[in-house]
Amino acid sequence: MHLQLVPSHDLSLHQRRRRPSFAEMQGIPWLSLLLPAERERAEAELMVVDAGTGDFICRIGKPVTYWFGVVDGLLKMSADNAQGMTMTFTGVPPGGWFGEGTALKREPYRYNIQALRSSVVAGLPLETFHWLLDHSIGFNRFVMNQLNERLGQFIAAREIDRMNNPDLRVARSLAALFNPVLYPGVGDILRITQQELAYLVGLSRQRVNEALSTLQVQGTIRIEYGGLRVLNLAALRSSIH
């Protein structure tokens, strides 16, 4: 499914970068794992940007310059296949940091990251990322956990792609967005519209609405104003009967 979005600003994201506020800094989960000197250096280098709907944070083929995370909002990770169709790998909700594999290898991006709505995105410069890897045990553990969880996430995404049951596709995709390790900023409520979820799952909004209604009847989720509350994460991750 193609997402036709128009960037909301004329200035590039790099030109719009700014220092994070205190509240934004508090929303960065790995800072608390650093020793005082490490944290001081990281906080001095961190930048954030207010991305508009449709803005690209990363583009295929572009060199990596930052390691990115979502402070607020919702991003999608996707790529185009040989037939020109857009394949969406996952959404990235608040608390999610991504691209550590690309940053580790210093290679060009193999995927696009685009804002599905107005979002606040944090960036740690690549050289600071590598400095923390060289000096911080806490940071290394965080990145290792990220890589391990990400591997499981993409294995699950491959399984989802092969599923013909729309209800199951929606359930598993939602479970991925509620991953407490990758996305600690989500908690029990995911702020997402049915149209945004449709973009991520690759189904129509109407079909997503039907699947969400089924999940609510089963007691797995509760549809609330502006989002979804998970009531049984284990059930979301398992097959629907």
What is the structure's pLDDT at 6? Answer: 42
Residue 203: pLDDT band (50, 70, 90) is confident
Say what percent of the chain tops pLDDT 90: 61
Q: What's the mean pLDDT in 43-67?
A: 94
| Confidence bin at 168 (pLDDT 50/70/90) | confident
E strands, 97-204, in order: 97-98, 112-115, 119-125, 189-190
Q: Where in the chain is the domain with CATH 1.10.10.10?
A: 165-237
For the segment 210-233, the average pLDDT, to the nearest whole number, is 92
**What pLDDT does residue 106 have?**
95
Tens digit of each residue's pLDDT (9 = 90 or more) over 105-157? 999 999 999 999 999 999 999 999 999 999 999 999 999 999 988 887 776 66
- Single-letter residue type at 203: L
Q: State how far the Cα of 170 lies from the Cα of 208, in Å rounded to an integer.
A: 7
Tens of pLDDT, residues 25-51: 999 999 999 999 999 999 999 999 999
Averaged pLDDT score across all residues of the chain: 87
What residues have CB less than 8 Å from 181, skipping those under 6 apart? 145, 146, 149
Residue from 123, 153, 141 nearest 49 by CA: 123
User: Is residue 157 helix, strand or coil?
Assistant: helix
Q: According to the model, what pLDDT value does residue 10 have?
A: 57
User: CATH: 2.40.50.140, 3.40.50.620, 3.40.190.10, 2.60.120.10. Which one for 13-156?
Assistant: 2.60.120.10
Class of domain 165-237: mainly alpha
Hey, what are 162's tokens? Answer: 């092969």
Each residue's pLDDT tens digit, 72-99: 999 999 887 666 667 777 889 999 999 9
